[in-house]
Structure 1
Amino acid sequence: LRAKAFGFNVIFYDPYLPDGIDKSLGLTRVYTLQDLLFQSDCVSLHCTLNEHNHHLINEFTIKQMRPGAFLVNTARGGLVDDETLALALKQGRIRAAALDVHENEPYNGALKDAPNLICTPHAAFFSDASATELREMAATEIRRAIVGNIPDVLRNCVNKEYFMRTPPAAAAGGVAAAVYPEAPECARP
């Protein structure tokens, strides 16, 4: 949808969406992947990865794309056969590609030497909604610590055993007396 703001004529293929959604969004629907690939100057992938679409972009589908087309994948790395894409970029069959995901990360495959490739860090989760949720989760954990409770999730705690058996003020080096007013006088700075 955002591509429409740049004047793109947006077409899409999705066998799972109900009919009519294209009209409500002002998009053009095609009913086969082959039609989508043949008609598109830029193919952007926005789908989950499953057993039916692993390496959806492969030697066969790249040959169905317009010569010189662009490919964007911000969905799942396994949707694209990296070796085939690298070859298509080197041959000029695909003009350029932009990838936010790779099948194996950190990436060290055939695409590392491919021309006309932009790779960005895998940050697909980031959105306004996820940023708000992250802030709310952080505030909840801070609130939990302020009232003297142990944070729910200690995934990254390197000394969890020590943390669990040490009073909060001592764990903070005595600095937490203002946060934990019930801390003994000797634990206060």
Structure 2
Amino acid sequence: MGQFRIQGRYASESKLGPNAPTKKAVLSPLSLEARKDPLAFRKLVLETITQKPISTEDIGRERLGSQFLRATNLAWAGAKRLFAVEEMIDKSNQEFKKREKELAQQNDLLRCQRDEARRAVRALISAHVRDTPGVSQDDQKDPLKVLLSWVENPGNDVDRQDEDVSG
């Protein structure tokens, strides 16, 4: 017989026979109302299955089969859980986006601080390298290279010259 299935947030899929083509439709603003009212939910289910507009009064006056009522009650209970989960997901996504924005701002601030620290270190190294005897003009252009060579080779000529002058 007919199948009814909600897929995604506002989409529905209905199949009226075993070989019938599946028809997808976007639910109307009624779907938002159906999230809060079981009668509106039944109306939405009936309209989706029959593919005809049905008024809420017709649902109240009609003698709906007990199986249909039981099925829509079960569907309503499941839909309420689904709607609650979707709301939790929405809240979580909003919090995630807010946190992501905060982290991006913090990241920008840290990058600025890092760049300022690099400039300060370069300036200090440049000043020290310029005043150091035995450092060539080419090495003075890249003071970080000189610093790294001092770290890698602690017993280089420049250090020995400093010891000779102080000693």
The TM-score normalised by the length of structure 2 is: 0.22
Larger of the two Rg values belongs to structure: 2
